[in-house]
Amino acid sequence: MMKLFHTIRHVNIVLVLLLFFVSGCGSGGGSGESSTQPAQTTNNSQQSQWQLSELGKIQSSGLNQPNLSAIMGNNGLHLAYFASEGGAYTINHHVFDPAFLQENSTKTPVITLQTPQQDLGLALISQDTPLVIYQGGGPSTCGQTKHSDMMASILENSQWIEYTAAIGRVDRNAIVNDGIAGRSIDVKVDTQNQIHMCCQFFYEGCDSMNQTYPDLWYFQFSPHNNTIPKTVEGNTYGAVNIQNTAGTYCTMALNNFDQPYIFYYYEKKLPNNEFGLKVAIRNDPDDWGIQWVKEQTTVGDISAAWNNNEHYMAVAYYETNAQSLIYAENTGNGWETKFFDDSCKCGNYCRLAFDMDGNPIIAYRAEKSHSGNPLEKLKIARRTEQGWTKELIENNNNIGYYNSILVDDDSTIYIITYSRETHGIYVLVSEGI
């Protein structure tokens, strides 16, 4: 990562990045409920200079959503996204290496699917081999047209090889035992190059009711071995029926021991109405400790990150009822709200990272003012020695979708984002803030 960022710093970022891309191109159980203490005083002053460059454009039509995702590796900046043309939906992978400028800038199709997809995940094995996960495979039973399996494609010897990561099987129905796996997905690769995945699983497609109550699954994926998903939280059918919605917006982060934390939205109608943000912490292969981060809150997006400096887990999320951004962390005393932005209707497409000093930085979209006027801007919130600051860093072209935030060893911040107005992929760079 240092090689990439330090190379970029010594060239004109606008000229270089435009060369790279061609046109055509998101422990223990217990309640652990979050504190409701007020956020620290915030400062809305514009304190940093941001440099904006367009990287390229995504072909987008119909029901397609780009679901742009970005990650940094030893060999460059990797992007994955959906593009659509002529009724087909293609996942593209794009990578560039600034050490060799445009000679090593490549864009390749990963896979072409026949139906629009809701999500994709991107990770790197050994910091340079891209892995893309998505919903693919064949359709489920009962006339369903959507892909029903969770798939993984890995770039091996310049070829994308597709593997089946998870197939939904329903033991309780011997006749119709095919479910739908692969919505609300995420993937992380740990320091030992073990691949961790989470996803939602929906029961057989013949009963529309089963499409309402998904389970949250987790598994470690190996390309050449069968993987068996484990239910982290889900539904039970028998003498006592429990129907809930588990795993929506599932997002994973690993701590310094490569221990998975899965954050997700949860809702249970019966026997009582429970809903809110939960976290499941893996204690051993078959034991998950599930905690409430915040009860009685509605969630529309989640981003989590581990603070390597101070050794605690943190989460940023979009509260849909209040249409606000909320940031919470667990430093050993349960989940405590440390910051929120309710200055406007904002917080969706939130992404969280920490700088080299252990300060949280959150990129997110500002949708509207409280009076209903459109803003359509990209915001950033960050904590400094003086407290929290909030900035509107880009306000053109209906920007701020599918954000990724990356920070280098000098705390230079890179935000990759998408505009629904221009269909453009953009990078914003700020040094030393």
Which residues, 6 or more positions from 236, have their beta carbon under 8 angstroms from its beta carbon?
A: 242
Select the more confidently predicted residue: 99 or 62: 62
Task: Reply yes or no on whether the pLDDT at 28 is more than 50.
Answer: no
The amino acid occupying position 351 is: R
* pLDDT score for 100: 45
**3-state SS assignment for residue 17:** helix
Beta bridge partner(s), residue 390: 381
Q: Residue 370 — left, alpha, or beta (φ > 0 → left; ψ -120 to 50 → alpha)? A: alpha
Specify the pLDDT at position 389: 95
What counts of helices (H) and strands (E) characterise the chain? 2, 29
pLDDT one-digit tens code per residue, 157-212: 999 999 999 887 766 666 666 778 888 999 999 999 999 999 999 876 666 666 77
Mean pLDDT taken over the chain: 83
Element (H, E) at 69: strand 69-73
Q: What CATH number does domain 2-112+136-144+200-209+234-430 carry, 2.120.10, 3.10.129, 2.60.40, 3.40.50?
A: 2.120.10
Which residues are CB-neighbours of 199 under 8 A, at least 6 positions away?
A: 150, 166, 181, 182, 183, 184, 185, 186, 216, 217, 229, 247, 250
Residues composing the chain: 433
Is 284's pLDDT higher than 80?
A: yes
Pick from 115, 66, 134: nearest CA to 94? 66
Element (H, E) at 6: helix 2-9
Return the amino acid letter for 219.
F
State yes or no: pLDDT of 341 exceeds 60: yes
Residue 104 has pLDDT above 60, yes or no: no
Above pLDDT 90, what percent of the chain?
56
Overall average pLDDT of the 416-425 stretch = 94
Maximum average pLDDT range among 60-69, 86-95, 313-322: 313-322
426: its two tokens: 């953009």
Question: What pLDDT, on the 0 to 100 scale, is given for residue 249?
Answer: 97
CA–CA gap between residue 269 and residue 242 (Å, rounded): 9
Short-list 415, 397, 305, 296, CA closest to 349 = 415
Domain range annotation of the chain = 2-112+136-144+200-209+234-430
pLDDT of residue 177: 66
Give the residue-averaged pLDDT of 210-215: 80
Sorting pLDDT into bands at 50, 70 and 90, what band is 74?
confident
Question: Which of the four pLDDT bands, split at 50, 70 and 90, describes residue 116?
Answer: confident
Q: What is the pLDDT of residue 171?
A: 66
Q: What pLDDT, in 10s, does the model give residues 285-299?
A: 779 999 999 999 999
